[in-house]
C-alpha cells in the first residue's frame, strides 16, 4: 500500500513516512537498504550533505526502476554554504552527488553559519560565520525559480527564530525538520509550525540509539494492547500529531514494520505527555555559548535575523 502523503504549503505532496539515512553509511549497506526500502513502498528519502553518503545514495537511486516523479528526495545544506553566493552551488553539488536533476525539498540544516572552509559537526567559535539567516533564506527562495528544487524549508529552527523569519519571507518554509520523539515532544513548536502551515518532520522518531524510547514501559504497554512493537507505537504517535517521520533502519523486517502504523486511542495519545523528558539526542552546539540561541528560545540573544 502506498504511504499516505501530507500536502505542503506549496501544494506538493510529501509521503508522511520517509527513510532516514544519517549514520546508515556502512559501505554497501546503504545502497541495499535504499533498494529494499523502495521495494517495500518507501518513496521519501531524507539525505544531507553532511552525512557524507550522498554519492552512495545517488548510485542506488540511479539504479531504481521507480519513476523519478514518484520519489520524494530531501537534502540539506550545511552551515559552511550559508553565504548567499554559495547556496546555488551547494544545491548543484548535492544534485551531482545524488545524480538527480532536482530535489523535492531542500532544507537549511541548522540556523547558524560556519565559515566556508569549516565542515565540522562540532564547531568552535572560530568556525562560526556572521551570515544572517534571512540572507541565506533569500538565496534559497531564488532556487525555486531554477526548477532544481520543488520546495524549500528549514531544519532545527526553534519558534523564536521562525517568528522573526516568517514576516520577512517571500516563501514561508514548507517544512521544519526537528528532533521529535516521545522523549522530546516539542508540543509548542509543533503547534506553532502547523498553525503557520509549516509541516513538521520529526527526525530520530525512535529516539535513535542512545535514547531508550523503545524500552519505555508505557510505550511497551501500548504496543502490547495493539499487538505491535514499541517502534510502531512511537511512529504512530508522531503521525497522529501530523508529524512526518523518517525512521532509519538497515534491517528489512524493521523497514517493513516501520511502514505499518496503528491507530492509538485518544486516551493513549493524551498519556504520552506523562513520559516527556525533554531529552535531545542531537545538540551539536551545546557547549558553545555563542550558539545558545539555537538551542534555547531566547530571541534577544538571536543576533542574526
DSSP H helices, 145-240, are 159-165, 187-195, 217-225, 230-240
**Residue placing its CB nearer to ligand A2P in the complex, 69 or 278:** 278
* Placement of cell 515532544 in the chain: 185
> Of 51, 112, 183, 203, which one is the catalytic site residue?
51
Nearest-Å Rg of the Cα atoms of the chain is 19
Q: For residue 278, say whether it is annotated as part of any ligand binding site.
A: no
**Residue placing its CB nearer to ligand A2P in the complex, 124 or 224:** 224
**Residue placing its CB nearer to ligand A2P in the complex, 115 or 226:** 226
Hey, which bits of the chain come out as E strands? 5-7, 13-15, 18-20, 44-46, 72-77, 105-108, 113-114, 128-129, 152-155, 175-179, 199-203, 244-245
Q: Which residues bind ligand A2P (CB under 6 A)?
A: 20, 204-209, 214, 229, 231, 247-251, 254, 257-258
From the CB of 142, what's the least distance to ligand A2P, in Å?
32
Q: Supply φ then ψ for residue 94, to 5 degrees.
A: -65, -45
**51 given a catalytic annotation:** yes
SS3 244: strand
From the CB of 15, what's the least distance to ligand A2P, in Å?
16
From the CB of 52, what's the least distance to ligand A2P, in Å?
17
From the CB of 43, what's the least distance to ligand A2P, in Å?
17
Instruction: Label each residue of 49-83 as H, E or C.
Output: HHHCCHHHHHHHHHCCCCCHHHCEEEEEECHHHCC
**Residue placing its CB nearer to ligand A2P in the complex, 137 or 272:** 272
Annotated binding site for substrate: 109
Annotated binding site: 109
Active site residues per annotation: 51
Amino acid at each position: 500500500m502506498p504511504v499516505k502523503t501530507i500536502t505542503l504549503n506549496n501544494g506538493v505532496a510529501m509521503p508522511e513516512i520517509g527513510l532516514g539515512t544519517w549514520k546508515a553509511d556502512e559501505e554497501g549497506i546503504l545502497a541495499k537498504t535504499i533498494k529494499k526500502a523502495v521495494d517495500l513502498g518507501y518513496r521519501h528519502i531524507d539525505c544531507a550533505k553532511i552525512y557524507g553518503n550522498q554519492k552512495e545514495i545517488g548510485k542506488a537511486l540511479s539504479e531504481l526502476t521507480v519513476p523519478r516523479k514518484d520519489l520524494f528526495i530531501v537534502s540539506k545544506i550545511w552551515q559552511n554554504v550559508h553565504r548567499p553566493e554559495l547556496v546555488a552551488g551547494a544545491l548543484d553539488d548535492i544534485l551531482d552527488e545524488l545524480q538527480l536533476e532536482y530535489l523535492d525539498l531542500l532544507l537549511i540544516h541548522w540556523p547558524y553559519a560556519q565559515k566556508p572552509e569549516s565542515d565540522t559537526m562540532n564547531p568552535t567559535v572560530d568556525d562560526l560565520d556572521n551570515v544572517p539567516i534571512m540572507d541565506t533564506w533569500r538565496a534559497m527562495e531564488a532556487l525555486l525559480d531554477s526548477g532544481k528544487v520543488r520546495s524549500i524549508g528549514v531544519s532545527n529552527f526553534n519558534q523564536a527564530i521562525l517568528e522573526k523569519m516568517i514576516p520577512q519571507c517571500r516563501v514561508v518554509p514548507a517544512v521544519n525538520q526537528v528532533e521529535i520523539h516521545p522523549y522530546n515532544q516539542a508540543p509548542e513548536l509543533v503547534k506553532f509550525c502547523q498553525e503557520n502551515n509549516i509541516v513538521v518532520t520529526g527526525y530520530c522518531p525512535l529516539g535513535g540509539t542512545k535514547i531508550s524510547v523503545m524500552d519505555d514501559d508505557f510505550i511497551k504497554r501500548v504496543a502490547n494492547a495493539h499487538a505491535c512493537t514499541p517502534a510502531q507505537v512511537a511512529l504512530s504517535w508522531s503521525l497522529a500529531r501530523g508529524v512526518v517521520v523518517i525512521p532509519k533502519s538497515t534491517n528489512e523486517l524493521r523497514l517493513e514494520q516501520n511502514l505499518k502504523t496503528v491507530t492509538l486511542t485518544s486516551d493513549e495519545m493524551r498519556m504520552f505527555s506523562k513520559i516527556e523528558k525533554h531529552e535531545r539526542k542531537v545538540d551539536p552546539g551545546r557547549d558553545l555559548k555563542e550558539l545558545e540561541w539555537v538551542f534555547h528560545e531566547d530571541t534577544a540573544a538571536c543576533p542574526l535575523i
